């Protein structure tokens, strides 16, 4: 955005800033760029499909793939791949997010539902609103809690100082996560299974960080970490090689919104998380 401001003492000056303090007797002229119609081109990107019929499909999204186009991501998204796979998808849920019912983060892998018809999309949205869809994630974290199960009921809102982050806020939106410890690697690390009852932005990452269990590889909600000499070498190498948060949307279970069939699918781990899991298991056997 280009902002031009003038005052009585100075001639017109053009400023390019994300933020600018307003002073008395200044006049601002804002020039907004022309809007352009969004046109999405189908791309022949392979999809790992766990289930598909004429109404919906369930895909295992790879890490590094954005779900739908956004600023800085105008190609290579899941939507671009879906448009190639499903030519009739445009128009369902708008131009930018055709067929999209819910999202997972770019660097989170795992199962995701896509609607192929308007009726399926409407009913799936209602099911998510009623929390009628089973969603379980696996995360590998620093630390190992003494408890085995934890119910986290902590509202989430925009971080007051870092606008790209979320945080637990008293005035935030209701957010509920159930956590179960599946495995402890001494007191160093743990593998957790998490069940979502709500779907807030970055919910799992925020809730775990808030409870001093940062996810390995999380560059946003975990402090920089370098394993010390007490960590087995095989685990140390795997952790240092982790390039994204060790979080995977494994289980997706629901009643088919049209047929009533019970669906339950488990998305296989991506190669990087499988390597991390194998290394930790071997290091702490």
CATH number of the structural domain spanning residue 103: 3.30.2350.10
Say if residue 177 is in the same domain as residue 221.
Answer: yes
Q: Please check whether residue 41 lies inside any domain of the structure.
A: no
Residues 12 and 105 in one domain: no
Residue 20 falls inside a structural domain: yes
| 132 & 158 share domain | yes
Residue 80's domain comprises 49-283
Asked if 107 and 242 sit in the same domain, the reply is: yes
Q: Active site residue: 48, 53, 74, 105, which one?
A: 105
Whether 44 maps to a domain, the answer reads: no
Residue 158 lies in a domain: yes
Distance (Å, rounded) from C-alpha 25 to C-alpha 46?
A: 58
CB-CB contact of 53 with 39 (8 Å): no
Q: Based on the domain organization, do 152 and 18 belong to the same domain?
A: no
Kind and range of the H or E element at 262?
strand 262-266
Residue 18, exposed/middle/buried by CB under 10 A (0-12, 13-18, 19+)?
exposed
Q: Are residues 22 and 112 in the same domain?
A: no
Asked, for residue 38, whether it belongs to a domain, the answer is no
Same domain? For 59 and 161 the reply is yes
Sign of the alpha-carbon torsion through 76, 82, 85, 89:
negative
Is 153 a known active-site residue?
Answer: no
> Looking at the 3D structure of the chain, how many domains does it have?
2
Say how far apart CA 206 and CA 249 lie, in whole Å: 16
pTM: 0.84
Written as tens digits, the pLDDT of the chain (285 aa) is: 445 555 544 555 665 666 667 778 787 777 776 655 557 889 999 999 999 999 999 999 999 999 988 777 778 999 999 999 998 886 776 667 889 999 999 999 999 999 999 999 999 999 999 999 999 999 999 999 999 999 999 999 999 888 889 999 999 999 999 999 999 999 999 999 999 999 999 999 999 999 999 999 999 999 889 999 999 999 999 999 999 999 999 999 999 999 999 999 999 999 999 999 999 999 999
């Amino acid at each position: 955005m280009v902002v031009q401001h003038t005052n009585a003492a100075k001639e017109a000056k053009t400023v390019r800033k994300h933020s600018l303090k307003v002073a008395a007797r200044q006049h601002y002229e804002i020039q907004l760029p022309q809007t352009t119609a969004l046109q999405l081109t189908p791309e022949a990107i392979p999809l790992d499909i766990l289930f598909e019929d004429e109404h919906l499909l369930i895909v295992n999204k790879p890490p590094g793939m954005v779900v739908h186009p956004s600023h800085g991501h105008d190609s290579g998204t899941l939507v671009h791949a879906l448009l190639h796979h499903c030519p009739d998808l445009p128009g369902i849920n708008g131009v930018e997010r055709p067929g999209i019912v819910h999202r997972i983060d770019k660097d989170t892998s795992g199962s995701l539902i896509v609607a192929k018809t308007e009726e399926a999309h409407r009913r799936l949205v209602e099911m998510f609103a009623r929390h009628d869809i089973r969603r379980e994630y696996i995360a590998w974290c620093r630390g190992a809690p003494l408890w085995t199960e934890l119910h986290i009921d902590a509202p989430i809102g925009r971080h007051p100082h870092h606008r790209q982050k979320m945080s637990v806020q008293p005035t935030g939106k209701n957010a509920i996560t159930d956590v179960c410890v599946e495995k402890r690697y001494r007191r160093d690390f743990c593998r957790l299974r998490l069940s979502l009852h709500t779907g807030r932005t970055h919910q799992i990452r925020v809730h775990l960080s808030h409870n001093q269990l940062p996810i390995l590889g999380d560059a946003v909600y975990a402090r920089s970490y370098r394993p010390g000499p007490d960590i087995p070498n095989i685990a140390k190498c795997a952790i240092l090689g982790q390039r994204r948060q060790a979080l995977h949307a494994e289980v997706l279970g629901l009643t088919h919104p049209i047929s009533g069939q019970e669906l339950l699918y488990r998305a296989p781990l991506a190669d990087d998380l499988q390597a991390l899991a194998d290394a930790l298991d071997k290091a702490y056997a």
